[in-house]
Structure 1
Amino acid sequence: MGELRRGWASDQLIKAAQDGDTDSIAAVVHSAHPHVRRFARHLCASPQDAEDAAQEALIVLYRKIGTLRASAALASWMFRIVRHECLRRVRRLTDHDHDLDHDLALGVGRASSAEDEVLTRLEAERVAEAIRALPDLQRRVLIMRDVLGRPGRTVAETLGLSVPAMKSQLHRARSALRLSLLDAANTRA
């Protein structure tokens, strides 16, 4: 079999999977599993979201490996799928509550221009990028507490921290995020 890419499947195995060989597809999914889980643990807000996102990404891999253009692109393709799934899970929780509250307060349905949607997506991507740049523990605390709205004690227990340590990490994360977004805004201005 061809050369292995840092634990991912060989080019030959990926090619056979792209051509529809079911044993090769299963082998590629199996070899991708630990890498996909690692991506998900780093990108998702909670361990449960990470597991769910990893499973969804592996299902996509299983169903759509034939659409992969180059075997060398497998890792980046899977990273994008996992990232999309993690962001989808966070947005599903936050957008649903926010949109309902906003629409009810205004008494209107959701109507925005394509330009507004693009600007909103760009801003969301800037925030997501700034959050991804945080150290792992700070990122997890920030997402669980500020994005998902989990109680502080729950966040602390989930991450194996004392409540004061969780609050310290949250403060550091918020400060770093604020500085990062201010620097980005100043750079654009």
Structure 2
Amino acid sequence: MSELRERSDAELLALHVDGDPDAFGELFGRHRDRLWAVALRTMGNPEDAADGLQEGMIAAFRRAGSFRGDAAVTTWLHRVVVNSCLDRLRAMKVRRAEPLPDDLEERADRGALVSATDVELDPAQLTVADERRRMVLAALRTLTPDQRAALVLVDMEGYSVAEAAEMLDVAEGTVKSRCFRGRAKLAPLLGVLAPTGGDVPHAGNPPETADVPTTGPPRGPPADRA
């Protein structure tokens, strides 16, 4: 395993295709937290996010041989996971209204989801920060799946429009349009947060309020479901 840690993403994927039993697990472990962040914000709750992430990773596990190398491996992984999440959202069609889960703070120190300043806040401030995050998650769920995916990648995960377009397999202009429409819809919902420092999501400057806590992604490589 120590030898695998020295390998590049592309090398790990190639080793997996060649039959190495540990290569995909090492690759998944490297990018698990970022992929989980995208899945959680796109799906809106940990249960659906876990399903979306696992289905995406199973697809990547099985289709690794089709990777052509015309994009970075991490871009390809994001594309597979986002597509898996979007497929689930579209299949749901009309999502029933559900309260946000109470366990979003568990293991909140994993991944790129928690603001580094949170560890310095007192309990009262943490309560306010948690409520703001819940507002952002709830607001995101009002967007169409395509708008949500674009905003998550560009405004919250900090990818460029070009990178997001590659992950979503659409034109850059389409990403810009989805982000514009999504921000317009979020503005009245999250405008109450703006006076504290411009927390409404905006491209190129991921806001603190976008740092949604997570219950933590599934551990290890995905298990195929019977």
Q: Normalization by structure 2: what TM-score?
A: 0.40
Q: Normalization by structure 1: what TM-score?
A: 0.46
Kindly indicate whether structure 1 or structure 2 has the higher relative contact order, using CA contacts under 8 Å at least 6 residues apart. Answer: 2
